[in-house]
């Protein structure tokens, strides 16, 4: 492995450290053109140069020799407000989570179904059908969905919680075919919101996969999927009030483990509330400060377990020879 150099690994290490090619060139006394050629595969750095780059980027030299499974840029929301640097650094951490799963997780590839949307114009009726089919495929019983994180892990996804440090990044995912990676924000300590985020990313993996990404239309579709998966229309529609009745909504929040905001939107989508009634409810919630912190807390978010067990196992020690130790520590501490 010492004699192997994967160009994409250099780019990944650079983006992990939030450096541009120009920044890395300046720190290493190389030209930006040389760094660009190393990352494109047009030139191969000598062994001493590889050692220099590994030291500057705080990764083991063997990191550059690991094969890299590529996928697209990932499912990120608020692309206009999330900086490219933040996005790429978070994506690099997700790649390392995938490395952990592929090296330590002795299981078959993920069994997340592919139920693609027919177009970007697909709206909620088809999304409802896809969400219903997904529940059937996974034998999810009627009623509130079970632990979403445990469900994702059961089907082979690597889930982790990290401090994403941006109000514009709630969660994101990368659709690796063997072990998709879902990253949830650990600095947004709300169970309902975290469950919706997990269901949103599940929607991406099921409906969009490697085919569609980076467009606002698919974010809307993933939101619709999350609502339909967590609150199946046929079951929740008769329970939703036609008028704003907070006592009923509080009970529904406890039962379905979703936010008041999600319940109100579901009531409007399913025609239980008129647009005017919905807007009145939203304004009331905002005036009471509920858009920031809702009443009826549901407790802490659902936590991943697979990566935790893998990183605490005896085989994890070997990873430090090929993966950056500070990132392993960060993942182990945050999940």
Q: Which of 35-39, 164-168, 252-256 shows the lowest per-residue confidence on average (mean pLDDT)?
A: 164-168
pLDDT of residue 78: 61
Q: If DSSP codes are grouped into helix, strand and coil, which group holds residue 277?
A: helix
Among candidate residues 24, 53, 68, the one where a domain is terminated: 68
User: Which residue, among 257, 264, 269, 270, has the nearest Cα to 285 in the 3D structure?
Assistant: 264
Residue 325 predicted with pLDDT over 90: yes
pLDDT of residue 109: 76
Q: What is the pLDDT of residues 176-210, one digit of tens each?
A: 989 999 999 876 789 999 999 999 999 999 999 98
Residue 53 predicted with pLDDT over 90: yes
Residue 219, domain member (yes or no): yes
Residue 101, domain member (yes or no): yes
Residue 23, domain member (yes or no): yes
Between 143 and 82, the more confident residue is 143
Q: Which domain holds residue 218?
A: 71-231+299-335
Residue 290, domain member (yes or no): no
Q: Is the dihedral of CA 226, 231, 232, 237 positive or negative?
A: negative
Residue 93, domain member (yes or no): yes
Do residue 177 and residue 37 come from a single domain? no
For residue 201, what are its two tokens? 């990313």
pLDDT of residue 1: 45
The total domain count for the chain is 2
User: Which residue, among 158, 198, 194, 163, has the nearest Cα to 311 in the 3D structure?
Assistant: 158
Q: Which of 17-31, 213-227, 243-257 shows the lowest per-residue confidence on average (mean pLDDT)?
A: 213-227
Do residue 22 and residue 6 come from a single domain? yes
pLDDT of residue 171: 87
Q: What is the mean pLDDT of residues 9-14?
A: 98
Q: What is the mean pLDDT of residues 294-307?
A: 93
Residue 194, domain member (yes or no): yes
Residue 332, domain member (yes or no): yes
Among candidate residues 17, 33, 68, the one where a domain is terminated: 68
304 burial type by CB count under 10 A (0-12 exposed, 13-18 middle, 19+ buried): buried
Residue 269, domain member (yes or no): no
Count Cα neighbours of 292 within 13 Å in the Cβ-side half-sphere: 3
Residue with tokens 């529904």: 252
Between 2 and 111, the more confident residue is 111
| pTM for the whole structure | 0.92
Do residue 177 and residue 81 come from a single domain? yes
pLDDT of residue 282: 97
Domain of 3, CATH number, reads 1.10.260.40
183 burial type by CB count under 10 A (0-12 exposed, 13-18 middle, 19+ buried): buried
């Amino acid at each position: 492995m010492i004699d192997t150099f994967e160009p994409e690994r250099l780019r990944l290490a650079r983006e992990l450290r939030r450096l541009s090619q120009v920044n890395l060139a300046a720190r290493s006394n190389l030209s930006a053109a040389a760094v660009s050629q190393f990352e494109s595969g047009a030139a191969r750095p000598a062994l001493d140069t590889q050692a220099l780059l590994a030291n500057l980027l705080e990764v083991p030299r063997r990191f550059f020799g690991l094969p890299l499974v590529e996928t697209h840029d990932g499912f990120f929301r608020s692309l206009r407000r999330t900086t490219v640097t933040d996005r790429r650094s978070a994506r690099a951490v997700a790649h390392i989570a995938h490395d952990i799963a592929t090296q330590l997780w002795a299981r078959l590839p993920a069994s997340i179904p592919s139920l693609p949307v027919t177009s970007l114009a697909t709206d909620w009726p088809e999304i409802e059908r896809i969400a219903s089919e997904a529940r059937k495929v996974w034998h999810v019983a009627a009623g509130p969905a079970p632990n979403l994180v445990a469900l994702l892990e059961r089907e082979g996804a690597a889930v982790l919680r990290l401090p994403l440090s941006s109000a514009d990044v709630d969660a994101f995912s990368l659709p690796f075919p063997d072990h998709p990676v879902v990253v949830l924000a650990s600095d947004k300590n709300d169970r309902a919101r975290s469950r919706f985020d997990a269901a949103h990313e599940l929607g991406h993996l099921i409906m969009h996969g490697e085919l569609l990404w980076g467009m606002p239309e698919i974010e809307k579709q993933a939101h619709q999927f999350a609502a339909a998966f967590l609150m199946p229309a046929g079951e929740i529609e008769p329970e939703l009030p036609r008028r704003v009745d907070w006592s009923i909504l509080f009970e529904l929040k406890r039962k379905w483990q979703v936010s008041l905001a999600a319940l109100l939107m579901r009531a409007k989508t399913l025609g239980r509330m008129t647009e005017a009634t919905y807007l009145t409810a939203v304004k009331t919630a905002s005036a009471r400060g509920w858009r920031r912190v809702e009443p009826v807390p549901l407790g802490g978010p659902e936590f991943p377990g697979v990566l935790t067990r893998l990183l605490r196992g005896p085989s994890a020690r070997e990873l430090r020879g090929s993966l950056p130790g500070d990132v392993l520590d960060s993942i182990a501490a945050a999940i």
